[in-house]
Amino acid sequence: MKRKKWLKITIGIVIVLLIINVIASFYFYNLAIDRNQKDFLQGNQDLEVSAEAMEVFFDGDWRDWVSSQQFEEIEMTSYDGLKLQGYYLEAKEPTNKTVILAHGYLGNGKDMGLYAQFYYENLGYNVLMPDARGHGQSEGDYIGFGWHDRLDYVDWVNLMIDKLGPDTEIVLHGVSMGAATVLMASGEELPNNVKAIISDSAYTSVRDMFAYQMKRMYHLPTFPILPSTSVVTKMKAGYSLSEASALDQVKKAEAPILYVHGNSDTFVPAAMSEKLYENTKSEAELMTVDGAGHGEAFVVDRERYENKLMEFLGEYVK
């Protein structure tokens, strides 16, 4: 009798834990991946921006520059039927050079205006700034963290080639989630028109990033919540956290990649870019910026960033 009693208690405990795990999995999916209002990052110390960066990001003259430009709004239908929105700006002088920028989590295409202004004003590039699926004016009820977006970027590349001609030379430049997006795209069969990829503050995989944040933000073990959250993500968004891997993709990359990461980044550790760099198949370089937090490198050491960018592009974009 005692054995049966303890068996029932054990089974009851297991059932309760399974229910808690399922609830937690759906909670984290809704928290991070479902397209909805996100408040959980507010007050996150890892995303605190230095006063210098704050002034540029929120009050910089690049915002006035963006609002003063006559962007051509370009709509594209994704491989799975979503209407995606992009903002295109033709260079002042005719050129065959175009940059396609990729924004970060919860952002939108025009948030990349800080970088767009440099490419446009200093380098004379055409500029395209898409809204990622699930962001801005683009459709989508989930956030892809770069995985499904990688195929969208292949399509944006082909759209630009169709629009501008077969001699078009394209640079992909992303920050944070956008950096992971362009790295994930690097492992696809990109046209030879893609001459260089710039990755600023990328994570190795969605699973690695979630595991890091679950421990850091919520002090939770990855097992069993992370695997079950991955299952929920696969069911609702069509991808698992493990398959969404920039690390696996750069092992197949053909286009040269420049990695940039701040050494003071505690939201996505610089070690992730180091690991990506070490595993990249194509020509690659890594620049770390002292004192820069997440996505701050361009502001913290702008002169070095710009010089390195021009040096790298000068080698691969003719």
Q: Per residue in 281-308, pLDDT tens?
A: 999 999 999 999 999 999 999 999 999 9
The pTM (predicted TM-score) of the whole model is 0.92
Query: pLDDT tens for residues 198-225?
Result: 999 999 999 999 999 988 887 788 888 8
pLDDT beyond 60 at 51: no
Tell me the chain's radius of gyration from C-alpha atoms: 21
Fill in the DSSP letter of residue 242.
Answer: T
The yes-or-no verdict on residue 49 having pLDDT over 60 is no
> d(Cα 229, Cα 21) in Å, to the nearest integer?
9
For residue 198, give Cα distances in angstroms to 50, 63, 73, 154, 294: 23, 22, 24, 15, 15
Average pLDDT over residues 99-125: 97
pLDDT of residue 278: 98
Residue 121, pLDDT > 80, answer yes
Contact 47, 294 (CB under 8 A): yes
Q: In this model, does residue 13 exceed pLDDT 80?
A: no
Mean pLDDT of 61-65: 93
Ordered by where they begin, the domains of the chain are 49-205+244-316 (3.40.50.1820)
